[in-house]
Amino acid sequence: MKKGRFLEYGGQYVPETLMNAVNELEEAYEHYKNDPEFVNELEELYRNYAGRPSLLYYAEKMSKDLGGARIYLKREDLNHTGSHKINNVLGQVLLAKKMGKKRVIAETGAGQHGVATATAAALMGLECEIFMGKEDTDRQVLNVYRMELLGAKVHPVESGTQTLKDAVNETMREWTKRVEDTHYVLGSVMGPHPFPTIVRDFQKIIGKEIKEQLKLQEGRLPDAVIACVGGGSNAMGAFYEFIEDSSVQLIGCEAAGLGVDTKKNAATIANGTEGIFHGMKSLFCQDEYGQIAPVYSISAGLDYPGIGPEHAMLYKTGRASYVPITDEEAVRAFEYLSRTEGIIPAIESAHAVAYARILAPQMEKDKIIVINISGRGDKDVAAIARYRGVNIYE
């Protein structure tokens, strides 16, 4: 396989100005990933700062209520800063620091990746600037304020659709302006090589823990692992350890917004076609001329018109399947998990919960489903209230 490729997907389609930076990053990563000191430092941060391992919780009430497979929740929402994003960010910011970078920049959709990046930058003493679609800064005001509290500068992006895709564009533009002392902390398993690999490696701890924990609790592998997919980092992290275990179904849930047949969705697998964008060959929501579609989802974090190249490969080879979940299904799942288990999931993660509600009753009682609860739902409470017609102040 060619460098940085997952079948034909992946690659390094970035401006020449960035090529030395991505090559330098690849070299540094290849070195540090096998450096015992780096590995120890990162493990220490995971344990004593992020709060790993995260719990694997048996959702007894939900399992009973749905009357099928036994359901476990992987509680990435319990991590410091409230999502799986911290796994990747601690790794990348530590790497940036080792590389002698002075500043980190990042894009963010819902704000979780921005908050995580600002947190790690504060901890490790690096300058931090975050690019966030103007529309998302309005949807997620609390996260904007959080990032500022952490010492980051937040730039509302007013170009294009003013959402995640434009935040990525603007962060790439900023990177070309100050490439020598700046590391771009990419937030998902996307972008030019080596990012999809680096981010997956920093996230694969999720699946590794699921495997170990479930072995202790049930003495076997799960039958299905379900996770939400925007760019796809939490899903890739949850899936990776199970790719060789063919008995384990891997299911990604993508944002169908108002429905896959409407114009308002972000369902890349359902509606996307092959293209090359944001540094990678993969699947994208686009028109016949390759203009990237303005996508939509109630969840700012899934509101992305593409999918990471390794997911494109898993889809193409049939190793993983991907299902669309609408806003309405996600909101119902959000409310359901809150009431049933006392756990308020991120609206992103609620997409995975929604599919588990469909799948579990179809499975035998001795089967096991693991849902990756990628983040906590505090940030979404006001948005859900508004969706239900309740106007509350944040």
Partner 1 sequence: MNRIKKAFSNGKAFISFITGGDPDLETTKELILAMEEAGADLIEIGIPFSDPIAEGAVIQEANERALSSGCTTDKLFDAIHEIKEKVSVPLVFLTYINPIYTYGKERFFKRCVECGIDGIIVPDLPFEEKEELSQESSRYEVNLVSLIAPTSNERIRMIASQAEGFIYCVSSLGVTGVRTDIQTDITSMISMVREVTDTPCAIGFGISTPDQAKKFAALSDGAIVGSAIVKLVAQYGKESIEPVKTYVRDMKAAVSKA
Q: Show which residues are catalytic.
A: 85, 107, 374
Give the residue from 180, 196, 236 showing the smallest Cα distance to 13.
196
Distance CA 176, CA 69 (A): 49
At 148, the amino acid letter reads E
135 is an interface residue for partner 1 by CB under 8 A: no
Please, which residue, 107 or 223, has the CB nearer to partner 1? Answer: 107
Is residue 227 a contact partner of residue 239, using CB atoms and an 8 Å limit?
yes
Out of 76, 107, 136, 166, name the contact with partner 1 by CB under 8 A: 166
Q: What φ, ψ does residue 314 adopt, rounded to 5°?
A: -60, -35
Least Cβ distance, residue 177 to partner 1 (angstroms): 4
Q: Residue 14 or residue 205: which is nearer to partner 1 going by CB?
A: 14
CA distance between the termini of the chain: 49
Considering the complex, state which of residue 117 and residue 286 has its C-beta at the smaller distance from partner 1: 286
| Dist. CA 255–CA 333, nearest whole Å | 13
State the minimum distance, in angstroms, from the CB of residue 42 to partner 1: 28
Q: Name the nearest CA neighbour of 367 among 74, 70, 72, 66.
A: 70
How many other CB atoms sit within 10 Å of the CB of residue 222? 26
Q: Of 13, 49, 58, 387, which one interacts with partner 1 (CB under 8 A)?
A: 13
Spatial separation of the C-alpha atoms in residues 319 and 103, rounded to whole Å: 38
- 147 interacts with partner 1 by CB under 8 A: no
By CB atoms closer than 10 A (0-12, 13-18, 19+), residue 365 is: exposed
Question: Least distance in Å: CB of 294 to partner 1?
Answer: 8
**Residue where the block lists tokens 């390759």:** 290
By CB under 8 A, the count of residues binding partner 1 is: 38
- Token pair of 291, please? 């203009």
CA distance 326 to 322: 13
The 3-state DSSP class for residue 133 equals strand
**In the complex, what is the shortest distance from the CB of residue 234 to partner 1, in angstroms, rounded to a whole number?**
25
Among 37, 244, 288, 364, binds partner 1 (CB under 8 A): 288
Query: Which of these segments, 31-39, 90-98, 289-297, 378-386, binds partner 1 (CB under 8 A)?
Result: 289-297
386-389 — which CB contacts under 8 Å span 24+ positions? 387/298, 387/327, 387/331, 388/331
Contact 82, 54 (CB under 8 A): no
CA atoms within 13 A on the CB side of 308: 29
Binding status of residue 11 toward partner 1 by CB under 8 A: yes
Given the complex with partner 1, which of 14 and 224 has the nearer CB atom?
14
Which one of the spans 19-27, 39-47, 250-258, 329-337 is the region binding partner 1 (CB under 8 A)? 19-27
Judged by CB under 8 A, does residue 290 bind partner 1? yes
Which of 173, 220, 263, 365 is in the footprint of partner 1 by CB under 8 A? 173
Q: 315 phi and psi, to 5 degrees? A: -70, -50
User: What count of residues does the chain have?
Assistant: 394
Q: Which of 57, 72, 239, 277 binds partner 1 (CB under 8 A)?
A: 277
Q: Which is nearer to partner 1, 107 or 341 (CB)?
A: 107
Q: What is the DSSP letter of 11?
A: E
Among 6, 12, 214, 320, binds partner 1 (CB under 8 A): 12
The distance of closest approach from Cβ of residue 279 to partner 1 in the complex, given in angstroms and rounded to an integer, is 7
Q: Which is nearer to partner 1, 150 or 307 (CB)?
A: 307
Nearer to partner 1, 82 or 279 (CB): 279
| Contact residue for partner 1 among 275, 338, 381, 385 (CB under 8 A) | 275
- Would you count residue 159 as binding partner 1 (CB under 8 A)? yes
Determine the interface stretch with partner 1 among 13-21, 42-50, 128-136, 347-355 (rule: CB under 8 A).
13-21
By the criterion CB under 8 A, which residues form the site for partner 1?
Answer: 11-21, 159-160, 165-166, 169, 172-173, 176-180, 273-279, 281, 284, 286, 288-292
